[in-house]
Structure 1
Amino acid sequence: MASVTNFNPHGVFLPLFLVLAATATATTRPYTFLPRPRVGYYSSACWNVESIVRSVVQSNYFTNPANAPGILRMHFHDCFVRGCDGSILLDGPNSEKTAIPNQSLRGFNVIEEAKTQLEIACPLTVSCADILALAARDFVVLTGGPWWPVPLGRLDGRVSLASNVDLPEPTDSVAVQKQRFAAKYLNTQDLVVLAAGHTIGTVGCGVFRDRFFNYKNTGSPDPTINPNFVPQIQSQCPLNGNAATRVALDLGSEGQFDTSYLNNLRFGRGVLESDQVLWNDPETRPIVERLLGLRFPFLLFGPEFARSMSKMSLTEVKTGLDGEIRRVCSAIN
């Protein structure tokens, strides 16, 4: 979530809008949606949905491993704007895709490829929002991360506006990040665990370069950065260099899902300010320490990431009459 971006661990459950499902005509929605997503939702209507998505994900991962962090970030950006409804996938002159934080997203072709295959196997049955949630999980698995059961049964939203895009910023304080996550019924532990998704992926120099050269117009780097880390990043992102040049968020382990990212925060080697402050803040640091096995009770990063991802994927989902099953993911029906 390269522009990433609260929290009683294990205790907050998402209040979902329980809307009675309505059966539409066979030309628009041949499958009746239940009020709430659940594991095994397509077991009778499209029994091989997960294997189809997984096959597409695998082929695209081996062709271009950068699709893994790309789709993970896309799922995050989708869920944080109007909920997990696939609105990030819609084309249009003023759609979410056109907002500055989303212009560097990659992997839209992966979701469309999976949708094309599912329309052949199970026409007008599987939503693009569900495909995106499944693909994010499957890409994480391919990088060495955890597998988790993905609740399915979301509908696709019909609205996608760049003006609605208000995502966590790379300069956000912990207090601001907590507010943003709390608005999505996610707690402080979810914040830390999901931010650690930066264990895979890269970020453009223009997003963070000032922090390493002229932090808050001081003419010097951010004092919380490890001094030995400063020249390394400065050499990769020269002051007058290309702002689009990309740098690993987890240097030394950017393609592997592990705790290296968290360990980098411990030693002042966080690329983004919004990441590094997680180690410096008295509320979030103990969570990082537990994930690293430095403080009891320990937290296992893989299972905790899976739990928080599943929780996030249920944010403001569309059900019942709230949405539709798109024929293609880039346009409403």
Structure 2
Amino acid sequence: MEMVKLLLVLVMALELMVGSVEGHLRPNFYQSNCPNVESIVKEAVRKKLNQTVVTIPATLRLFFHDCFVEGCDASVMIASPRDDAEKDAHDNISLAGDGFDTVIKAKQAVEVQCPGVVSCADILAIAARDVVVLSGGPSFTVELGRRDGVISQAGRVTDNLPGPDFDLDQLTSIFAKNNLTVRDMIALSGAHTVGFSHCDRFANRLYGPAGADPTLDPEYASALMKACPRDVDPTIAVNIDLYTPITFDNVFYKNLMRGMGLFSSDEVLFTDERSRPVVRRFAKDQSSFFKAFAAAMVRLGRLGAKTGEQGEIRRDCTAFNN
């Protein structure tokens, strides 16, 4: 009996430790002061999506880039007159404006009904879920209660985001630093099923000293060279998934098995035997991918969450409160 009591005490202590790490995020955080926040955001996202399908990958990528730097605190949204905020960092220059606009418009819609209540960080988290659902992907419960960060510096982005040429060890390391597993990393990489990329992000795979990267399917490499010739306009972009670029599905993993991963950091998920079984699993079973992606997004959303008295609730997502 004493042993049972001791175990119960240990379990309670562990629960308290986990709770303190994850803050006080919970699905019903706004139940009393903004109960319709999720429906308001979803409608704003739907309107933006009807204007441009770029809304899907742009919003999803914005969430990922935000969470991996200062935590999920909308610090990536800050616009600096000196061009020295997070969004101005080299790795964030390619973030599409439609992602920022989605959050700004959703915030404006929420402010009409619930002024000064909902953080930009929570709106971005909800919007990231909504673009997944609206493009055919899995739904999942978004934990809420984040507050907006008060630091946004370009210098803090360096070495905190995975690069397009990372190998598996580098990918595993940077995700582990953010309390995400290898499976989480492979699942979150699946967001590239609705993404696009500018040519300069993968040009080294096409025009290396020895020619095209041999892990690329030759026909795919040839098609990429036509779309992205040497010295191409840096604004030119191509879809990462050529087959279903605006549908959230598991075709990304099927492409990897064909040698059609646009980035070497994507293709390595299949060429490295350590991660290959998970890629095969997700390529074969979309529901398995959807389940893993949804779980990984929830864990991603907990990174560095500011709660309680930390941070602030911004009136304008692009500027700190004065």
Structure 2 length normalisation: TM-score?
Answer: 0.90
- After superposing the two structures, state which structure 1 stretch, 125-134 or 101-110, moved more: 101-110
Q: Alpha carbons of 1:299 and 1:65: their partners in 2 closer, same or farther (altered >3 Å)?
A: closer
Give, in angstroms, the shift of residue 210 of structure 1.
1.7
Asked if the contact 2:23/2:305 (under 8 Å) is kept, the reply is: no
Q: Alpha carbons of 1:90 and 1:16: their partners in 2 closer, same or farther (altered >3 Å)?
A: farther
Partner of 1:120: 112
Residues 1:53 and 2:47 are matched in the alignment: no
Q: How does 1:279-294 map to 2 (within 5 A)?
A: 279-293=270-284
Residues 1:146 and 2:134 are matched in the alignment: no
How many residue pairs get matched?
300
Residues 1:18 and 2:12 are matched in the alignment: no
Q: Alpha carbons of 1:35 and 1:182: their partners in 2 closer, same or farther (altered >3 Å)?
A: closer
Give, in angstroms, the shift of residue 125 of structure 1.
0.7
* Aligned match for 1:248, one of 214, 231, 239: 239
Give, in angstroms, the shift of residue 330 of structure 1.
0.6
Give, in angstroms, the shift of residue 18 of structure 1.
2.6
Deviations 1:286-314 (A, max 9, x none): 111111228xxx96111211111111011
* Aligned match for 1:329, one of 288, 310, 317: 317
* Aligned match for 2:153, one of 157, 161, 185: 161
Unaligned runs of 5+ in 2: 1-14
Q: Percent identity?
A: 39
Q: How does 1:296-311 map to 2 (within 5 A)?
A: 300-311=288-299
Give, in angstroms, the shift of residue 121 of structure 1.
0.8
* Aligned match for 2:66, one of 78, 90, 94: 78
| SS of match in other structure, 2:20 | coil
Residues 1:263 and 2:254 are matched in the alignment: yes
- Given residue 178 of structure 2, which amino acid in structure 1 is its aligned partner? K
* Aligned match for 2:305, one of 300, 317, 321: 317
Q: Which has the higher contact order (CA 8 A, sep 6+)?
A: 1
- Given residue 249 of structure 2, which amino acid in structure 1 is its aligned partner? D
Unaligned runs of 5+ in 1: 1-12, 20-33
Partner of 2:87: 97
Partner of 1:173: 167
Partner of 1:191: 185
| SS of match in other structure, 1:234 | helix
Asked if the contact 1:16/1:316 (under 8 Å) is kept, the reply is: no
Higher helix share: 2
Residues 1:201 and 2:201 are matched in the alignment: no
Partner of 1:67: 55
Asked if the contact 2:23/2:306 (under 8 Å) is kept, the reply is: no
The runs of at least 4 aligned residues of structure 1 exceeding 6 Å deviation read none
